């Protein structure tokens, strides 16, 4: 709906939302492919496994960076409403989306090149191209692998901290305006929706962070693999599944367009 309607493509929020949904869809498709191949006991070549892991990392980074961009867009729209159109026109938004994808490809690409140059990526672990197993064995790998994991964790928490700070500033800046008096108001529902999305994006990295500590001190390898399975197959998938429903219900134009497609009725604009 977003990419097929010209009016939606002229708004920054819809372009960013469409990019976020696209990156989540790419992640789900490749992760489902990986899970299906593992369930069928089909072993990928090492090069194909590396490519699949790289595409998953790119899609995951794209979703995370776009989520941060959505928050910054909301921040600018609320605090600088008169300058919003000048700051974020559709043409500049498209350039920002291209930049987000370039960063999403460069960030995991650097790590993959480092691991490849140190000969840590083409190990026997890739014989079973399962993200949870590879993630768990990464925590027991060499120093270069652990360094890449910790740097990735730091970047994720920096993005999530930026998102949290923007929401906190928005709340305190608008607290005295009276838009929070009604719990069912549009602002309250929007804030609750963003907090829900933030929680589901924050919880999986937090679970992995806790798991990384337990891995070295408490848990065994088999227990760690079970934890990784829960994180990757449930906690990482859940926000990507809920994201379209939360934002589809939030934006009235999108929900109305979806209803018109289901009901096969043409929308009529009323002044």
Report pLDDT digits (tens) over 9-49: 888 888 998 898 999 999 999 999 888 888 888 877 878 88
Question: CA 250 to CA 40: how far, in whole Å?
Answer: 39
Residue 173 has pLDDT above 70, yes or no: yes
Q: Is 220 exposed, middle or buried (0-12, 13-18, 19+ CB in 10 A)?
A: exposed
User: What's residue 271's pLDDT?
Assistant: 64
Average pLDDT over residues 225-254: 80
Least confident of 105-109, 155-159, 247-251: 247-251
Reported confidence tier of residue 268, pLDDT bands at 50, 70, 90:
low
- Tell me the backbone φ, ψ of residue 269, rounded to 5 degrees: -75, 135
Query: Per the structure block, which two tokens stand in for 233?
Result: 């197959």
Nearest to 100 by CA among 178, 15, 43, 180: 15
Average pLDDT over residues 151-169: 79
Strand residues in 99-199 grouped as ranges (E)? none
Q: pLDDT averaged over the chain? A: 78
Query: Per the structure block, which two tokens stand in for 138?
Result: 């990464």
User: Over pLDDT 90: what percentage of the chain?
Assistant: 8
| Rounded (10°) CA dihedral 168, 251, 88, 202 | 40
Q: How far is CA 262 from CA 64, 76, 133, 164, 245, in A?
A: 30, 34, 41, 36, 15
Reported confidence tier of residue 99, pLDDT bands at 50, 70, 90:
very high
Residue 120 has pLDDT above 60, yes or no: no
Q: Which residue ranges make up each domain of the chain?
A: 6-261
User: What's residue 98's pLDDT?
Assistant: 94
Residue 225 has pLDDT above 70, yes or no: yes
Residue 257 has pLDDT above 70, yes or no: yes
Q: Could you tell me which residue, 206 or 126, shows the higher pLDDT?
A: 206
Query: Per the structure block, which two tokens stand in for 232?
Result: 């990757």
Q: Given the structure tokens 């500590």, which residue do they identify?
A: 213
User: What's residue 94's pLDDT?
Assistant: 92
Reported confidence tier of residue 102, pLDDT bands at 50, 70, 90:
very high
Reported confidence tier of residue 95, pLDDT bands at 50, 70, 90:
very high
User: Could you tell me the pTM of the whole model?
Assistant: 0.80
Q: Could you tell me which residue, 73 or 111, shows the higher pLDDT?
A: 73
Q: Could you tell me which residue, 27 or 197, shows the higher pLDDT?
A: 27
Domain 6-261 falls in which CATH fold?
A: Rhopdopsin 7-helix transmembrane proteins (1.20.1070)
Reported confidence tier of residue 142, pLDDT bands at 50, 70, 90:
low
Q: Is 215 exposed, middle or buried (0-12, 13-18, 19+ CB in 10 A)?
A: buried
Q: Given the structure tokens 């009604």, which residue do they identify?
A: 182
Q: Could you tell me which residue, 59 or 202, shows the higher pLDDT?
A: 59
Let me know: does 52 contact 129? Beta carbons within 8 Å. yes
Q: How far is CA 230 from CA 22, 53, 87, 144, 241, in A?
A: 24, 18, 41, 26, 16
Q: Is 20 exposed, middle or buried (0-12, 13-18, 19+ CB in 10 A)?
A: buried
């Amino acid at each position: 709906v977003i990419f097929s309607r010209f009016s939606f493509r002229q708004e920054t929020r819809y372009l960013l939302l469409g990019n976020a949904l696209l990156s989540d869809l790419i992640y789900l498709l490749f992760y489902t492919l990986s899970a299906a191949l593992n369930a069928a006991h089909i072993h990928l070549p090492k090069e194909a496994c590396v490519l699949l892991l790289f595409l998953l990392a790119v899609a995951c980074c794209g979703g995370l960076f776009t989520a941060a961009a959505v928050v910054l867009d909301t921040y600018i729209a609320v605090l600088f409403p008169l300058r919003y159109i000048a700051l974020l026109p559709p043409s500049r938004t498209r350039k920002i989306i291209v930049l987000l994808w370039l960063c999403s490809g460069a960030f995991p690409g650097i790590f993959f090149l480092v691991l490849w140059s140190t000969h840590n990526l083409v190990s026997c672990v890739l014989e079973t191209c399962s993200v949870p197993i590879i993630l768990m064995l990464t925590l027991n790998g060499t120093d270069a692998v652990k360094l890449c994991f910790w740097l990735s964790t730091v970047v994720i928490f920096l993005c999530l901290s930026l998102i949290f700070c923007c929401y906190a500033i928005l709340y305190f800046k608008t607290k005295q305006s009276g838009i929070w008096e009604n719990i069912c108001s549009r602002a309250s529902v929007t804030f609750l929706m963003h907090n829900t999305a933030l929680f589901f994006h924050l919880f999986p990295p937090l679970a992995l962070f806790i798991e990384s500590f337990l891995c070295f001190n408490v848990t065994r390898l088999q227990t760690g693999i079970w934890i990784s399975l829960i994180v990757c197959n449930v906690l990482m998938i859940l926000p990507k599944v809920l994201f379209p429903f939360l934002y589809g219900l939030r934006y009235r134009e999108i929900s109305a367009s979806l209803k018109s497609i289901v009901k096969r009725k043409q929308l009529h604009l009323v002044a």
